[in-house]
Amino acid sequence: MQATHNRPGLGLPLACLALVLLLAGRSALEPTGPAAGDPSLRLSATQPSLEVELSGWLLSDPRFSTASATETSGTGSNGGAGNSDASRPCRVPLQTAAGRSELLFNACPALQQGWRLTVSGRLRRPSSAPHPLLSSAAERLARQGIWSQLQVERWQVLSRPATPIADLRRRIARQLTAVGGPERGGLLAALVLGSAVVPLPADLREAFRVAGLSHALAASGFHLSVLLGAVLPLARRLPRLPRLTLAAGALALFLLLAGPQPSVVRAVLMGGGALLLLESGRRGRPVAILLCTVVAMLLLRPGWLADVGFQLSVGATAGLILTAGPLESWLKGCLGAALPEGWGTGRAATWLAGALAIPLAATAWTLPLQVLHFGVVPLYAVPANLLAAPLLSPLTLGAMALALVAVLLPAVLPVLVQPLLLLAQLLLLICQQISRLPMAQWQTGRPQPVLVLLLALGSLALLLPQLARRWRQLGAALITIAVTLHLAWLAADRMLLVHQGPRDLLVARHGGRAALVSSRSDGLSCHQARSLATGLGIRRYDWLLLLDPVASDGPTCWQDLAQLVQSTGEAGPPLLPGQTLSSEGLEASAVAVDSRALQLRVGRQRWLLLPDRQALWSWERSTPASWPANIWLGFRPSQGDQHSLADGNIERVWWSGNFASRRQTLPPGWRASGLSGSLQTG
């Protein structure tokens, strides 16, 4: 009893956590899909696309699309309501009376959030990812409750209702970007509105992500705390009602500008709850406020649980509440012993301990989520946050003040913005330099969810100071098991086939390294190859082989992925007889001079790669002395092909595409990828 008395009670937090888990289970078990009347219900298996006309209002401003041209084919034309202001393709969600659909424009028109339109074009379902490590339009849109896409051919604006909040956001972003440029001005705008509202250059986003500073660009509790830290001291001498009114106004303004994103709603609800408790003279428990806020949000919108930003926001906040304080005390003791006499007990040690504890606690609590969703860990996140912390608070507060100036006194904005542009340039320099350091990211790969669960449970046992020593020992054991199993999975000999449309990617893995064979050399194939490498924990492929006779439209993309890139010449084989591509445990060699057939060695596995029927015929004519144990066919085999291959002692036959018939019976080990799917050994 005495031990329990000496430890802070965990009853309420554990009860709230149990309720959160129940809500998570309910959210996972609930069927998700379109509601009655949704545009996607007009489609069927026999009619996967059709010409339709929809009417509704836009849920956001159009955003430029990075999708390939094949994803947005068609000829959009203005219905006479305005002129296109860009030749780039874009997309925008449309809310109809009974559902939603994403509009795809080949040439982005000058449309705005809230406008009512009538659009016509070809409706289809969004494409699904052929492999869990690849992103897809279907997955992205499902999180927004959208189940269809409309390739717009004609459109017409019906009305332009007033949208004062959206207009205010556009005006602030436009003014700050105009005076500071897309990078520095965009950074200032993102500190006020969040990167979900402000379109930022891709290389800027990437630099912040690699440096471990993505949270600075996302509207979150930090930005709200800076705003309240400036407002509340000004209202300290006011009576209670005006003081609460001013604080509530600051919370509402932050919510309106950043938008009702889950992480923003969490920050506002927690801030409002803490202020009410403070004004009532009661002392609130931060962890209880956090969990009650999360429970209330998930009761309202269970789907928010799937939002990655919300998960990271809750995890980081929990780390700051539960771990930052004890970690700071421990670091202060360590620094006291390590620093010279007089430094260890002074302000320097206190400041350094606090500055280190915050990013360390947030990183530790969000680490399982980072490896689950991204498969990478920014190794220099803590020093990056140490260097950026002195800049972020004045930059955020200054950007908020400049946003007010941009609305009220735009003429003086170019003068007042100059000091902040210098700070913004310094922050950009820090991010860019750190992101270019060797091993800036640790390619962990994306573990299996059950291993992430073990990692999360083990981390909780180590990070919660209230738990007894035996729980910490159990936590360390769980982490060891999770890491060991994941490393064993990464090091195993495996073959992965990813097929989508005309594209095939074959990833051969051995000893934690990999090689790649791609049937196409276009930009989308390279993007998918990069995503697979990240998800599989591969920093760079040892070598890659492009079978496409058409020259690549993005050679630098492929060269960034591998130490050696071998391309197929026009109408020629990928490799000549006697020529090989090899690294330890991975080797590709030619089978015949008149075909694209290849032999591939993956550790102890032997594969025969036959991209087309000509390669199969050429291999059969060569009268092979021995049959390979594994064969990949880049085409659907005919009945004759199947009979000829069945005569050999083949362990496994894969092919890209569907079965010839659903009733077709195949020998053991014969498998088809489907029109969009993947196959993997092990």
Domains 49-161 and 492-680 share a fold: no
Distance (Å, rounded) from C-alpha 659 to C-alpha 76?
A: 36
Q: In a 3-state reduction of DSSP, which class is residue 95?
A: strand
CATH class (in words) of the domain with range 49-161? mainly beta
CATH of domain 492-680: 3.60.15.10
Hey, which bits of 300-451 come out as E strands?
Answer: 376-378, 441-443
Distance (Å, rounded) from C-alpha 28 to C-alpha 354?
A: 38
The pLDDT assigned to 75 comes to: 34
* Residues of the chain under the 70 pLDDT cut: 1-31, 66-86, 336-346, 551, 553-554, 569-572, 623-626, 647-648, 660-665
- Calculate the alpha carbon distances from 459 to 266, 309, 441, 464 in Å: 23, 20, 21, 9
pTM: 0.85
Dihedrals phi, psi of 377, to nearest 5 degrees: -130, 120
Distance (Å, rounded) from C-alpha 60 to C-alpha 351?
A: 43
What digits encode the pLDDT tens for the residues 272-327? 988 888 877 777 788 888 988 988 898 888 888 888 889 999 999 999 998 888 88
Greatest C-alpha distance within the chain: 95
| Tokens standing for residue 566 | 């071998």
Q: Name the residue ranges covered by the structural domains of the chain.
A: 49-161, 168-443, 449-490, 492-680
| Tokens standing for residue 170 | 């556009």
Distance (Å, rounded) from C-alpha 179 to C-alpha 190?
A: 14
- Residue 610's closest CA among 626, 624, 630? 630
- Calculate the alpha carbon distances from 484 to 29, 455, 481, 490 in Å: 31, 11, 5, 10
630 forms beta bridges with 607, 652
Pairing of strands 605-610, 630-633: parallel
Torsion sign, CA atoms 275, 281, 284, 289: negative
Dihedrals phi, psi of 127, to nearest 5 degrees: -70, 145
The H helix count followed by the E strand count for the chain is: 22, 22
